[in-house]
């Protein structure tokens, strides 16, 4: 690694506000380490954040950054990328932010194949507002809005993004840190829409409501709940409901929105 990842870090804004044991900082650090390995210059990187605990990630970076309105990050970066194709754009969006209020933007960013890396720290609930369930919260979970168990089934955001047209989709967990960094690098180097979901603990709400113990125990729980994609596909539906798959779902190389726009719609060479 020729760049020290700390050049991307706004050290003067530390300590961070996340609870002890929260995974958001680990995911952010891995994102910055992967940027350092790719030697992305500070001035060529943008972190766009949604609203939520995860949305505070932008406070701690020393690169271009902004916090958009809840669920709308991908709409903003679609425009930014068209105006500034030279930027490497990362989006940090909580599971609530991108799978509920922002789901339309996610589908269309994937369909348009906007060249951004969407990182989804999936802590299985709305952390910032007090542990309500999101569309990604597993069925039967106890949350502040499902005191006797979530009646709704959850959804698979990765499969949705893949179906909508994303070039790269993967899921990993906070336990698999080496793999996480590898996925971030693959996602960033793959031009077009990339999504990496990272399953991560919120010990303050999801962990407490579901009696999963402290942060350490939650990480063990995440590890035990996760199986590689090929094994998951061999499981019964009942067994699948008790597990998360992890791995790479899609890796393809369709032209991104910017390239298509300049090459096909305007008959000009793309500048990126």
Ligand X SMILES: Cc1ncc(C[n+]2csc(CCOP(=O)(O)OP(=O)(O)O)c2C)c(N)n1
Binder of residue 25, out of ligand X, ligand SF4, none (CB less than 5 to 8 A by kind):
none
- Quick one: which segment of 123-131, 148-156, 237-245, 255-263 binds ligand X (CB under 6 A)? 123-131
- The string of DSSP letters for 161-205 reads HHHHT-SEEEEEETT-HHHHHHHHHHHHHS-S-EEEEEE---III
What's the rounded Cα separation, in Å, for the pair 158 and 237? Answer: 18
C-beta of 54 vs 194, nearer to ligand SF4? 54
Name the nearest CA neighbour of 198 among 227, 172, 160, 232.
172
Smallest distance, ligand SF4 to C-beta of residue 159, A: 24
C-beta of 18 vs 184, nearer to ligand SF4? 18
Handedness of CA 166, 170, 171, 172 (dihedral sign): negative
91 counts as binding ligand X under rule CB under 6 A? no
| Number of residues forming the site for ligand X (CB under 6 A) | 17
96 counts as binding ligand X under rule CB under 6 A? yes
Burial 82-95 (b: 16+ CB within 10 A, else e): eeebebbbbbbbbb
Name the nearest CA neighbour of 119 among 164, 75, 73.
73
Interaction residues for ligand X, span 179-218 (CB under 6 A): none
Tokens of 98: 């991108």
- Which phi-psi region, left, alpha or beta, contains residue 60 (left: φ > 0; alpha: ψ -120 to 50)? alpha
C-beta of 68 vs 192, nearer to ligand X? 68
Contact (CB, 8 A) for 46 and 90: yes
Binder of residue 272, out of ligand X, ligand SF4, none (CB less than 5 to 8 A by kind):
none
C-beta of 69 vs 189, nearer to ligand X? 69
70 counts as binding ligand X under rule CB under 6 A? yes
Smallest distance, ligand X to C-beta of residue 72, A: 8
What's the rounded Cα separation, in Å, for the pair 92 and 54? Answer: 7
33 counts as binding ligand X under rule CB under 6 A? no
94 counts as binding ligand X under rule CB under 6 A? yes
What's the rounded Cα separation, in Å, for the pair 55 and 114? Answer: 20
Smallest distance, ligand X to C-beta of residue 181, A: 20
C-beta of 82 vs 101, nearer to ligand X? 101
Chain contacts with ligand SF4 (rule: CB under 6 A)? 18-19, 22, 24, 53, 123, 127-128, 202-205
C-beta of 25 vs 68, nearer to ligand SF4? 25
Residue indicated by tokens 């006797």:
148
Query: Which residues of the chain form contacts with ligand X (CB under 6 A)?
Result: 51-54, 69-70, 94-97, 101, 123, 126-129, 134
């Amino acid at each position: 690694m020729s760049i020290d990842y700390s050049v991307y870090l706004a050290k003067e804004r530390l300590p961070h506000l996340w609870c002890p044991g929260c995974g958001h900082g680990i995911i952010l650090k891995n994102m910055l380490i992967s940027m350092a390995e790719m030697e992305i210059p500070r001035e060529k990187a943008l972190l766009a954040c949604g609203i939520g605990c995860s949305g505070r990630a932008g406070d701690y970076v020393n690169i271009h950054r902004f916090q958009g309105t809840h669920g709308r990050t991908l709409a903003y970066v679609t425009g930014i990328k068209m105006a500034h194709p030279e930027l490497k754009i990362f989006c940090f969006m909580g599971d609530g932010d991108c799978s509920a209020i922002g789901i339309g933007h996610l589908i269309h960013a994937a369909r348009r194949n906007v060249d951004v890396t969407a990182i989804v720290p999936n802590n299985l609930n709305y952390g910032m507002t007090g542990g309500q369930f999101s569309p990604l919260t597993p069925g039967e979970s106890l949350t502040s809005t499902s005191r006797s168990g979530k009646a709704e089934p959850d959804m698979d955001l990765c499969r949705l993004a893949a179906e909508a047209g994303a070039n790269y989709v993967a899921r990993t967990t906070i336990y698999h840190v080496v793999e996480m960094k590898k996925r971030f690098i693959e996602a960033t180097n793959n031009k077009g829409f990339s999504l990496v979901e990272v399953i991560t603990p919120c010990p303050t709400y999801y962990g407490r409501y579901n009696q999963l113990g402290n942060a350490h125990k939650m990480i063990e729980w995440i590890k035990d709940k996760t199986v590689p994609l090929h094994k998951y596909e061999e499981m019964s539906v009942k067994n699948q409901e008790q597990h998360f798959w992890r791995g790479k779902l899609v890796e393809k190389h369709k032209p991104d929105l910017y390239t298509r726009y300049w090459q096909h719609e305007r008959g000009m060479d793309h500048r990126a």
